[in-house]
A and B are shown apart, each in its own frame.
Chain A
Amino acid sequence: MKKKIIKSFIVLLLIFIIGVFFIGLNNSTIYDTKSLVGQKLVNIELDHFNKKKKITEGDFNTNNFTLINFWASWCGPCRQEHPFLIKLKEENNLKLLGVNFKDQKKNALKFLNEFGNPYDVLAKDQLGKSSVNFGIYGIPESILLNKDLVVIKKFIGPISLSDYGYIKDIINK
């Protein structure tokens, strides 16, 4: 009887250990932002790129959809996604808020002169501290918001052709 209990205990322990390893090793350790989808953005405060004023949620809660794009002139992949942002500028349902991230003003302006300015509103985040409020950990990153400032999707890395299609589908539904 006692031996049976010990055997059962060992078997259960082994099943438990294998189960833990199975679940643990199947879980992706790569950070993703799925949990941010559905969250409402609050306490938005960004410095305007040119003017001495703050950009808050009040500046874009009248838009049907807003795409916040974090970019910098020194960021290679930002050049890759830029043509898609230029195309998205043509969408009436969408406003683009650009956040120039840890960049120099003259370089940022040079970038926009060279590749075009897709942004309806342009903000700057020279130390990168404001971007933490948006859960940003690298650039380029973009966040698609609805009218209620709820996150519909977060794009990590440059916006691709499929992302462009996704955004168009969402805003034209």
Chain B
Amino acid sequence: MKIKTISFFIILSLNIVNAESSSVEISSILKNLRCLICQGQSVADSNSEFAQTIKLVVKDQIDKGRSEKEIYNFLIDKYGEWIVYKPPLNRVNFLLWIIPYLVLVAGGVIIFLLFKKRVNHR
């Protein structure tokens, strides 16, 4: 009984997460697109001619069944990587993506070494 109840709640929560992710898809895509003619605004935030057009295009692409990645690739192909706030991993921005993980690992190592040193002192 207990397992059935837990399974029920897990499935229910997964469904809620799925429903939420599909409904926010368009707004999350628009938030990750830079308005090329605005100062520091995303397409979602802007009402410029350019932003309005991109909103229509993204909606069309979603209606055609394109995935988020396909939509980004289409727009990157037309406007370059500058249009996305979160650019895909490539040779140029490799360091930008990898450094946080390296810092995390280095931090972990430092904490481990300090902890080990303290234990040895005791």
Q: Bound pair: A and B?
A: yes
Segment with Cβ contacts to A, from B2-10, B15-23, B78-86: B78-86
Chain A nearest CB from B58 CB (Å) reads 10
Q: Which of A31, A131, A132, A135 has the most CB of B within 10 A?
A: A132
- The verdict on B67 contacting chain A, using a C-beta distance below 8 Å, is no
The answer to whether B82 and A31 touch across the interface, beta carbons within 8 angstroms, is yes
In the assembled complex, A77 has its CB within 8 A of some CB on chain B: no
Complex: chain A residue closest to B83, CB-CB: A31
List chain A residues, Cβ under 8 A from B50.
137-138
> Judging by beta carbons under 8 Å apart, are B36 and A137 in contact?
yes
CA distance A16 to B8 in the complex (A): 51
Q: Are the C-beta atoms of A129 and B60 separated by less than 8 Å?
A: yes
* B82: chain A residues within 8 A (beta carbon): 31
Known: A31-B36, A138-B49. A133 touches B78 (CB 8 A): yes
**B80/A127 in contact, CB under 8 A:** no
CB of A31 within 8 A of CB of B53, answer: no
Q: Is A172 an interface residue (CB 8 A)?
A: no
A135-155 to B contact mask, C-beta < 8 Å, 1/0: 101100000000000000000
Q: Are A132 and B78 in contact (CB under 8 A)?
A: yes
Q: Find out whether the CB atom of A31 lies under 8 angstroms from the CB atom of B60.
A: no
B106 to chain A, nearest CB (A): 10
Residue A35 contacts which of B53, B56, B60, B80 (CB distance < 8 angstroms)? B80
Report how far A138 CA is from B50 CA in the complex, Å: 7
Asked whether A83 is an interface residue with its Cβ less than 8 Å from the other chain, the reply is: no
Known: A36-B80, A132-B54, A138-B37; 9 extra A-B contacts, CB below 8 A, are: A31-B80, A31-B82, A35-B80, A128-B49, A129-B57, A133-B78, A137-B36, A137-B37, A138-B50
Q: List 5 A-B contacts (CB under 8 A).
A: A36-B80, A128-B49, A128-B53, A131-B53, A132-B54
